């Protein structure tokens, strides 16, 4: 979370992790600019949209290549395409969901994933009462089918929406199946092998750090 403290460390990388974390935002803004018919953008304009300095943007992009034209700026379409290529966003990613309780169902019906290429293609639960049920287009499977399904459907990403008490165990099962990227909605920070990336979605933690500033602001009101 950076800032939400929200990533798994790595070492043998030329591009700093913090740069990689910013790239998807760049892509998002570039798409918005494309939709507005903007064809060329400077680091200064991009920086204003993203609330970062122009220097930061130029430096970040310089880790990845030389995309700009001096005196002119960046071609919006070209830069977006290159960044998506680098991030691996020009393809579709199959995702499995673990846990189809209240939260899991909300995630299943969230319409923001599929348009970005993240397709939830399998759902699992341990509860016999929901295994076998059909949610949307998916049939809820028992956990012991995880390994086979991950392999068959070439699933690279797991989404954890189970109670905290079993999150560590689920994380272990996922990594043992070869899943190397996990989006974790459980409010715990399980241990994972070094090769596995974890991002935590933890709104309570976000609230709990903001209250510090609310409590310590100078003028009350």
Contacting positions for DNA (CB under 7 A): 11, 16-19, 42-44, 52-56, 58-59, 61-62, 66-74
Shortest approach of DNA to residue 124 CB, angstroms? Answer: 34
- Binding track over 91-130 against its own copies, x by CB under 8 A: --x-x------xx--x--xxxxx--x-x------------
3-state secondary structure of 157: strand
Helices 54-62 and 17-35, packing angle to 10 deg = 110
Residue 209 partner contact from its own copies, DNA, none using kind-dependent CB cut-offs of 5 to 8 Å = its own copies
Binding to its own copies in span 19-38, by CB under 8 A: 20-25, 27-28
How is residue 150 written in tokens? Answer: 């991950």
Q: Which residue has the tokens 């996922």?
A: 174
Task: Please identify, using beta-carbon distances, which residue of 54 and 187 lies nearer to DNA.
Answer: 54
Query: H-helix or E-strand containing 168?
Result: helix 164-176
DSSP state at residue 101: S
Residue 203 partner contact from its own copies, DNA, none using kind-dependent CB cut-offs of 5 to 8 Å = its own copies
Shortest approach of its own copies to residue 45 CB, angstroms? Answer: 14
CA dist., res. 161 & res. 101, Å (int): 8
Taking residue 41's Cβ as centre, other Cβ atoms within 10 Å add up to 22
Strand order across the beta sheet in which 197-200 lies? 134-135, 138-142, 118-125, 93-98, 155-160, 181-184, 197-200
Binding site for its own copies (CB under 8 A): 1-7, 10, 17-18, 20-25, 27-28, 50-51, 86-89, 93, 95, 102-103, 106, 109-113, 116, 118, 156-157, 178, 180-181, 183, 187, 189, 191, 195, 197, 199, 201, 203-217, 221
């Amino acid at each position: 979370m950076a800032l939400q403290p929200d990533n798994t460390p790595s070492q043998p990388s030329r591009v700093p992790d913090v740069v990689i974390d910013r790239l998807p935002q760049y892509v998002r803004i570039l798409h918005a600019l494309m939709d507005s018919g903007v064809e060329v953008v400077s680091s200064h304009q991009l920086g204003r949209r993203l609330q970062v300095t122009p220097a930061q943007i130029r430096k970040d992009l310089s880790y990845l290549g030389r995309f700009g034209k001096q005196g002119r700026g960046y071609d919006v379409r070209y830069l977006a395409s290159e960044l998506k290529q680098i991030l691996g966003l020009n393809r579709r990613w199959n995702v499995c969901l673990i846990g189809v309780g209240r939260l899991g169902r909300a995630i299943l019906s969230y319409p923001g994933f599929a348009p970005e290429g993240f397709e939830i293609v399998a759902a699992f639960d341990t509860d016999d009462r929901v295994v076998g049920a059909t949610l949307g287009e998916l049939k809820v499977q028992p956990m012991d089918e995880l390994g086979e399904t991950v392999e068959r459907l070439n699933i690279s990403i797991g989404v954890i929406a189970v109670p905290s008490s079993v999150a560590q165990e689920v994380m272990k099962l996922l990594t043992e199946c070869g899943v190397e990227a996990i989006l974790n909605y459980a409010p715990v920070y399980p241990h994972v092998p070094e090769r596995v990336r974890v991002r935590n979605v933890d709104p309570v933690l976000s609230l709990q750090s903001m209250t510090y500033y609310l409590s310590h602001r100078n003028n009350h009101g």
